[in-house]
Amino acid sequence: MLQRNSLAEKPSKVDRQNSLRLKTQDSRLKALVWGLESIVCLILIGCSISHGVYHKVEKGQTLWRIAKAYNVDIQEVAEWNDIADPTEINTGEKIFIPGAWRLLKVEPYKAPEEITGGAEKEKKANGWQAMQRTEEPAGKIVLERWRFAWPVKGSVISPFGMRSGKKHDGIDIAAPEGSAVLAAAEGEIIHSDDSVRGYGNMVILKHKEGFITIYAHNEENLVKTGDVVKRGDVIARLGNTGHSSGPHLHFEVRKDRRPRNPLFFLP
Ligand SMILES: [Zn+2]
């Protein structure tokens, strides 16, 4: 009797388990789909800085001193302002300080002749040479021009950083509609559709070391999620989809979700 009961119970138990398993799989799938959607949203909006101040460079203020005063990474200041060489900032220039809430005082650099009362004045060394003599750090800016290849042949019509009061997380490259959009490096496609408002047909490519590249406003995507591509593979056709005023590629480079200046990574 006991045996028969347990036998009779077995199918229903299995049914329940199956149904539970299916339910679990279903909710797991839903969570996965939701997770993927939110990942894309996080990729696009997460870790983005939307505020900052414009600091007007005064005499003797080096990029290193400015970054130090505002407690911001010099690399970040350099990328936001397209400054590949820290010696190339001029008095009067306005530098965007990402993340800052108010203007701060930046202690100017004093050349040795100013400190020693002009004893070495006749040498007439420029500020930069003087800086090196007194070991004023220039600040190290890293350029990885080898990391990515240009995704399309064209001209940069809009740079990375602040653009009339709004931030631009990538660069815009203008080229004829239908031009081949190439993978900037080898990697795996983690997104390919037009589900994110404004971006039109968009491809997101995941690379090693926490980097991703984003290709938006495409006329047509030629890859699907899960595809593995090599550097230079054609992944899309350039277009004008989403919020776009003319055919161009919106190209982003992100490391650990943080938008980076693509020009620092392109040859
Ligand atoms: Zn853009």
Domain total of the chain:
2
Centroid of ligand 1 to alpha carbon of 257 (angstroms): 17
- Which of helix, strand or coil describes residue 98? strand
Q: Give 187 Cα–ligand 1 centroid separation in angstroms.
A: 22
Residues 70 and 122 occupy one common structural domain? yes
**pLDDT at res. 255:** 96
Of 121, 218, 219, 197, the residue nearest 205 (C-alpha): 218
Of 133, 166, 194, which one is at a domain's C-terminal end? 133
Q: Do residues 74 and 175 both lie within one domain?
A: no
**Same domain as 220, residue 167:** yes
Q: What is the pLDDT of residue 165?
A: 79
Ligand 1 center–CA 124 separation, angstroms: 45
Looking at the fold, whether 256 and 163 belong to one and the same domain comes out as: yes
CA of 33 to the centre of ligand 1 (A): 27
Residue 171 alpha carbon to ligand 1 centre in Å: 5
Give whole-number Cα distances, 83 to 46, 93, 117, 263, in Å. Answer: 24, 12, 33, 10
Are residues 159 and 126 part of one domain? no
Same-domain pairing of 174 and 204:
yes
My answer on whether 189 and 229 are in the same domain is: yes
Looking up residue 110, the CATH number of its domain turns out to be 3.10.350.10
State in Å: Cα 252 to ligand 1 middle. Answer: 8
User: Would you state the pLDDT for residue 261?
Assistant: 98
CATH code (residue 256) = 2.70.70.10
Distance 198 CA to ligand 1 centre (A): 10
Centre of ligand 1 to C-alpha 196, Å, is 14
CA of 199 to the centre of ligand 1 (A): 9
CA of 109 to the centre of ligand 1 (A): 37
Q: Rounded to 10 degrees, what is the CA torsion of 227, 232, 237, 242?
A: 70
Chunked into runs of 10 residues, the chain (267 residues) has average pLDDT values of 39 46 53 54 56 94 95 96 91 95 92 60 53 66 96 96 87 98 98 95 98 98 98 98 95 96 98
Q: How far is the CA of 203 from the centre of ligand 1 (A)?
A: 14
Look at residue 163 in the predicted model and tell me its pLDDT: 80
CA of residue 168 to ligand 1 center, whole Å: 6
Residue 47: the pLDDT is 47
Residues 253 and 159 in one domain: yes
Q: What is the DSSP letter of 31?
A: H
Q: Tell me: do 161 and 251 sit in the same domain.
A: yes
pLDDT of residue 20: 47
245 occurs within a structural domain:
yes
Q: Collect contacts of 190-195 with beta carbons under 8 A, ≥24 apart.
A: 190/39, 190/225, 191/36, 191/40, 191/43, 191/225, 192/221, 192/223, 192/224, 192/225, 192/227, 193/221, 194/241, 194/242, 195/37, 195/40
CA 167 to chain centre: 12
For residue 61, give its domain range. Answer: 52-133
250 C-alpha vs ligand 1 centroid, how far in Å?
Answer: 4
Q: Does residue 47 fall inside a structural domain?
A: no
The pTM assigned to this predicted structure is 0.76
80 occurs within a structural domain? yes
- Which is nearest to 54 in space by CA: 35, 77, 71? 77
138 CA from centroid of ligand 1 (Å): 31
What's the 227 CA to ligand 1 centre distance in angstroms? 25
Could you tell me the distance, in angstroms and rounded to a whole number, from the CA of residue 140 to the centre of ligand 1?
28
Distance CA 43, CA 212 (A): 9
